[in-house]
Amino acid sequence: MDAEAEEKYIKAGKIAAKVRDEAAKMAKPGAKLLKIAEFIESETRRLGGEPAFPANLSLNEIAAHYTPVKNDETVIPDGSILKIDVGVHVDGYVADTAKTIAFSDEMERLSNASRDALEEAIKLVKSGAKIADISKRIEAVITSQGYKPVSNLTGHGLERYFLHAEPRIPNVATRNEARLKDGMAIAIEPFATSGMGEVRDSAPALIFMLLGKKPLRGGDARKAAAFAESFKGLPFAERWLPFDSTFKARLALRELREKGVLYDYPPLKEKGMVSQHEHTILVKDEPIVTTL
């Protein structure tokens, strides 16, 4: 990794951390998710970054990939648990970070399990570290506190304009022989649950990524595709689309989906409550956690 790329990763991380922590202060029972999401995205831009993906604000059994729709009236319930997942990029260099906010003692214990697992995992990060050792430590910390790690969600590498690159960093023990390499940017994100330890897709999808170009018949579909191209392969939200109605937006997205050029990110749902904490780390002999 050259010095310019490192500098941009670090700048993105500083912005993401500040926005994440300010959003966490807004998260209280009765607060609207839409207001928090709009703050995250606008503040990211004000501070000199761009959203690397729409603000994810996932409640209770939803582990990830919920972002509000236009005019969303959803509020944070009493006794709930909220995952605030923030992505920021500077010239395509991404910081990915998350924090869980708990609104009961029981949910606080669940939040602590994923937070403690993240802290312990980061201690193992260095050039040459075995990914299997990191995964084993994450699982051990979460299970020691009476919860299950979510087995089908993983940490991941980060590359320019590419959110989910190699290597994968599972939250459960694995026989993976891969090792971290100097210069990698990675996101470690333990998910802990009181449920089964596995998420499933739910509906509707509200976050999307454009996969490529194909001839499109509808004017609105062409408009949506042109808008999506500006994100250079990073995800966008339905509510970001430049239409005056949700109906028009969804018709345009349907044509893109039918043409095979749209990737959906459906909300990921568990049977129990879920917590998540996440940091981005630059792998070096002395690793840099960009999102502290």
Which CATH number does the domain housing residue 66 bear? 3.90.230.10
Q: Do residue 165 and residue 253 come from a single domain?
A: no
Q: Do residue 156 and residue 234 come from a single domain?
A: no
Amino acid at 247: F
Phi, psi of 196, deg, nearest 5: -90, -15
Q: Do 163 and 97 meet the contact criterion of CB atoms below 8 Å apart?
A: no
**Structural domain span for residue 125:** 3-202+272-289
Q: Do residue 86 and residue 219 come from a single domain?
A: no
**pLDDT tens string 180-239:** 999 999 999 999 999 999 999 999 999 999 999 999 999 999 999 999 999 999 999 999
Which CATH number does the domain housing residue 236 bear? 1.10.10.10
Q: Which residues are catalytic?
A: 85, 96, 156, 164, 189, 278
**pLDDT tens string 142-164:** 999 999 999 999 999 999 999 99
Average pLDDT over residues 10-16: 98
Number of structural domains found in the chain: 2
**pLDDT tens string 234-263:** 999 999 999 999 999 999 999 999 999 999
Q: Do residue 148 and residue 190 come from a single domain?
A: yes
Q: Do residue 256 and residue 165 come from a single domain?
A: no
**pLDDT tens string 93-103:** 999 999 999 99
Residue that is written with structure tokens 């990073």 in the block = 234
The interaxial angle of helices 246-258 and 219-229, nearest 10 deg, is 80
Q: Do residue 176 and residue 123 come from a single domain?
A: yes
Q: Do residue 9 and residue 109 come from a single domain?
A: yes
Q: Do residue 105 and residue 86 come from a single domain?
A: yes
Q: Do residue 246 and residue 108 come from a single domain?
A: no
3-state secondary structure of 65: coil
* pTM strictly above 0.85: yes
Q: Do residue 64 and residue 78 come from a single domain?
A: yes
Q: Do residue 146 and residue 239 come from a single domain?
A: no
Q: Do residue 107 and residue 212 come from a single domain?
A: no
